[in-house]
Amino acid sequence: MLRYFALSAALVLAAILVLLAVPRFESPPPRGPQYHGGRATPSAGAADAGGRRVSEGVTGAAPWALSAVPECFHETASFAGPPAFARAHLPPGGRRLRDVRYTVADCTLRIFVDSAELRRGDDDLRVPAPSRFYVAGGRLVLDQQFGQREEVRIYAAVPGIR
């Protein structure tokens, strides 16, 4: 039994020595200068050749838009799953919001019938349809549908939203 153990140890040792003896090839150095796009923080003074200000903001559809600006809207809870599960978490006594505009800190939220638009500086984000907004006890509630899945997001009391 001892000789089999010694034989297996010798084979493992030989394999390790062979692997260490094989030369390792490093990747070739990059050719030419390397560039990367973007800035750590957006430049407030960016302008095109004509001197006009160039927007570097974020635009597009963003179901998570309100959660992306905690300085304006602080998400306190989120429930996702089948519609019956998500709707069970809607706060009682909520009033549906439609065609309203709120300014909170440096954010402007425009709520339409089944979608919304959030603007902050150069950022212009859309909460896509179908989305419903409610207010309950000063808290803002967002109810979104994604096919057979629904998500309810509840935001902390927002000044000015009643």
Q: Does residue 17 fall inside a structural domain?
A: no
pLDDT bucket at 31, cuts 50 / 70 / 90? low
Q: How many domains does the chain have?
A: 1
pLDDT on residue 59: 85
Q: Does residue 134 fall inside a structural domain?
A: yes
CA distance 60 to 64: 11
Domain coverage including residue 71: 62-157
Between 130 and 24, where is the model more confident?
130
Q: Does residue 46 fall inside a structural domain?
A: no
- Give residue 160's identity as a one-letter amino acid code: G
**Tokens 């706060």 sit at which residue?**
91
**Strand blocks (E) in 10-157:** 59-61, 75-81, 95-97, 100-104, 107-111, 116-120, 123-127, 131-136, 139-146, 149-157
Q: What is the pLDDT of residues 89-143, one digit of tens each?
A: 898 888 999 999 988 888 999 999 999 999 998 889 999 999 999 998 888 999 9
121: tokens are 């500086």
